[in-house]
Amino acid sequence: MMTDIEIADQAKMQPITEIAAKIGLSEDEIEQYGKYKAKITLPVTAHPDKKHKLVLVTSINPTPAGEGKSTVLVGLGDAMNQLGHQTIIAMREPSMGPVFGIKGGATGGGYSQVVPMEDINLHFTGDLHALTSANNTLAALVDNYIMRDNQLGLDPRRIIWKRVEDVNDRVLRNVVTGLGGIMQGVPRQTGFDITAASEMMAILCLSTDLMDLKRRVGKIVVGYTYDKQPVTVAQLHFEDAITILLKDAIKPNLVQTLDHTPTIIHGGPFANIAHGCNSVLATKTALQLADYTVTESGFGADLGAEKFMDIKRRVLGKNPDAVVIVATVRALEYNGGAELADLKEEHLPELKKGMANLNRHIKNMQRYGVPLVVAINHFVTDTDAEVQMIADNCRQLGVNVVTADAWAKGGAGTQDLAREVVSLTEQKSDFHELYSLDASPAEKVETVATKIYGAQDVEFSRKAQRQLKQFADLGWDKLPVCIAKTQYSFTDDQTQLGAPSDFTFHIREFVPKLGAGFIVALAGNMMTMPGLSKVPAAVNMTIDKDGKITGLF
Ligand code: ADP
């Protein structure tokens, strides 16, 4: 089997104008970025004769390599179209942090990929750079404001707006800026986050149009005054300048799969330290133009899918019609205690034990009342006994289960899943909200922690308790919560695999993100700037004189 990049290199792509035409967009309705990428001009007019069905792909708790959600998503989109169900895929933009760090690209794998793979995984149409520039322009404007008149009395010790970059760069987690004397600004301690975890990224993903984006930027709280009053971007009159920097980034990007399925890739927040869903505009555009929109949310269903249901869905104004939970033999065995290096072997006892992880995700998704199917993402190393054990487990629970061979066979290997998904979307769903926005932030965190994670209770640090009181006084307590938590565990401790229960979940701090429209709750020691591993993916990349690349996976 060839590597992902070798398969992608051999793809015969169709001109992007042809892909656009398939979904009813003329050349005037797209802005071309070369031959195979385009931005979609907004607003898009809805096609009233479409079915507008929405399918959400999520997964169990993954191994560090990922469990093939994107791969299954792409295979599913291809299979739906092959079977004559007009489908658009909507997914997230890769961040260069994981691409050069642990995980490699995020454009699917094997014969279920989105292309041009190298472009999408690297600079693509520049959205992440635009977001980084917008974020850092705001940071520079704030520091300049403090150095000049500082009429509002912004306290340099209480600035919460950080700089960002799209790199895993642990040395920038904590920095001191403004050193070197009077002309270099006011010294203060701050830090960098990764762009994918920034409020600017969340704003791009949750805005419904350019003016909504501007309104949201205006609501960003950059810090507090000496008498502890919050200061917003609108008070400083910077929102237009920042919005100008995002005027193109807000437009969704159109590309294609290896099988030429139209794919909208836009926005890329991580699901552990951010809200983990592609943009509302991308999903909405797909819904307007297709019978079926298949989309994903990051990491396991405890993170991405919960945030899809409780954050993105409220803005999108559309509940999913079906949910696909991707499970792999490997990750269930890992959750059951098998060693990471040893997952190619059969481990039936560990698989049995790890099944508790899948079963909790099933129960959690059933809580929302949306029809669901488990997709076993098939690896060549899976044995029949292993696959059978997962299938039997699901059938005992009365849950539909299908094996998907998206990686090895593309859409052809994913047609059974496609048929199941189409039939699920015909069923009546009875959506239930997990929590009401009227609940306090503490109650919202407690609901997610006890109902979704399986915690017994939640412990809020002294700082977090102080913040809860402050947020209530400021009237910020009616927003959803976005919990930043490890992707490997239901708990806040990444070594607790499987499906632990009766544990205490710890919140150390809250961060108000009023522009995004949620309150971030930082759990355990979760950090918003990742680091690189001992042997980052970057070490194994090559490029030759013709520009040919290897090692992007
Ligand atoms: P996720 O979206 O869950 O993070 P991806 O779809 O990005 O996962 O897949 C992660 C990696 O695993 C990719 O390099 C992909 O090629 C590989 N992969 C996914 N599914 C399979 C499979 N069934 N067999 C072999 N490799 C796979």
- Asked if the model's pLDDT at residue 213 lies above 80, the reply is yes
Q: Say if ligand 1 is within 6 A of residue 68 CB.
A: yes
- Region 78-99 average pLDDT: 96
**Alpha-carbon gap, residue 115 to 67, rounded angstroms:** 20
Residue 157's pLDDT is what?
Answer: 97
Contact 286, 293 (CB under 8 A): yes
Q: Is 110 in the pocket of ligand 1 (CB under 6 A)?
A: yes
Q: Is the CB of 111 within 6 Å of ligand 1?
A: no
Per cent of the chain over pLDDT 70 is: 100
What per-residue confidence (pLDDT) applies to 483? Answer: 97
**Could you tell me if the ipTM is greater than 0.90?**
yes
Q: Is the CB of 101 under 6 A from ligand 1?
A: no
239-265 average pLDDT score: 98
Share above pLDDT 90 across residues of the chain, in percent, rounded to a whole number: 94
Which ranges in 448-522 belong to alpha helices (H)?
462-474
The tens digit of pLDDT for each residue in 279-305 reads 999 999 999 999 999 999 999 999 999
Q: Residue 192, by phi and psi: left (phi above 0), alpha (psi -120 to 50) or beta?
A: beta
| pLDDT, mean of residues 419-442 | 96
- 141 band by pLDDT with thresholds 50, 70 and 90: very high
Q: pLDDT (tens digit, 9 = 90+) per residue, 489-538?
A: 999 999 999 999 999 999 999 999 999 999 999 999 999 999 999 999 99
3-state secondary structure of 70: helix
Distances (CA, A) of 233 to 163, 221, 237, 244, 401: 15, 7, 6, 14, 49
The pLDDT tens digits of the residues spanning 62-79 come to 988 778 999 999 999 999
Largest separation between any pair of C-alpha atoms in the chain: 71
Distance between Cα 72 and ligand 1 center (Å): 8
pLDDT tens for each residue of 327-361 = 999 999 999 999 999 999 999 999 999 999 999 99
Q: Is 6 or 247 the better-scoring residue by pLDDT?
A: 247
pTM of the model: 0.96
* Segment (H or E) for 457: strand 457-460
Average pLDDT, the chain: 96
Active site residues: 69, 71, 92, 103, 271, 299, 379, 407
Residue spans of beta strands (DSSP E) within 461-531: 481-484, 504-513, 518-523
**pLDDT of 103 higher than 70:** no
446 labelled binding-site residue: no
In the predicted model, what is the mean pLDDT of residues 359-369?
97
Confirm whether residue 48 is marked as ligand binding.
Answer: no
The confidence score (pLDDT) of residue 208 equals 98
What mean pLDDT is predicted for residues 307-315? 98
